[in-house]
Amino acid sequence: MRPVSESLLVCCKLYISEARNSFVIESIEKVAKQNNVVIVNKFVDEIYNRTSYTLVAHSSTNSLLDTIPLQKAVIDMMKTALDMIDLRLHEGTHPRLGVVDHVLFHPLGASTLDKAAELCTLIAASIGRLLKVPIYLYGAAHSEGRTLDSIRRDLGYFQPNSDGRQWIGDLNTDISFVKPDEGPLEIDPSKGLITIGASPWVGSCNVPIHSDDIELVKNIARSISEKGGGLPSVQAIGVEHAKGSCEVACYLLDLDRVRADQVQAEVERACSELGVTVGKVYLTDFLPEEITSLYVKAIESC
């Protein structure tokens, strides 16, 4: 086998708006394994009612034909989720726009971002046509490099739709002013919509804050984000989590500039000024080097 750093690997992160129904979660996972794709991570958060899967596949060349198993696995997982989950019955403290909320492709090893972007557009066209769901492309998969954050803001992702600061039921969102790239121009309330993108590696980490003051936590999140004048390449939101506790949930867009320990330090600094205690930061996925290592071990054990 080639050294990991030279291998052509493609990684897909798939986020599903369900974590409390184990049968659904296992059914989605099962169809991925039937396509001989390695799931290197599954992160289930019942309070957020959200599950993420990290899939990795190898190709011998940069041809998209070599990614057919991954394409089929992702499409089958999305179809299973859309068939089994009704967004109108969903309830959770984490924002979402659809049953399949977010799909993100990364190149790993010697693979290229262009290949990941092509894969995005191919899968988006298939899902939009076959499963009748509006698809919004972003990052390298979008012709103008539109950001995920901008799509979410335009579509009200950051605004809970209940008095209890929960995301409950269908979106009640008019998408006529933000035309999807693929799929229908109207939302099926049982399915919602899907964002699909390609980018260099994005890390995800959460910092627990022992306070039920969500507005305070949102302000902390804003202060540590790049947009709020905080850490470069960091996007952050404040979200309710366990009873009496909230979290600062972060995307780390450039791990060479900022990693999770720096986020922890900055949140601690902000909270110390407010007299609020902080829990230990945790990653919701492995780092790129860990992902590739886990993939190789899985392949060698087959």
Q: Annotated catalytic sites, by residue?
A: 94
Pairwise CA distance, residues 256 & 259, whole Å: 7
CB distance 20 to 92 below 8 Å = no
Beta bridge mates, 251: 204, 235
Longest pairwise C-alpha distance within the chain: 56
Tell me the CA distances in angstroms from 187 to 31, 127, 155, one per residue in order. Answer: 26, 14, 12
The residue type found at 49 is N
Mapping DSSP onto H, E and C, the string for 176-217 reads CCCCCCECCCCCCCCCECEEEEECCCCEEEEEEECCCCHHHH
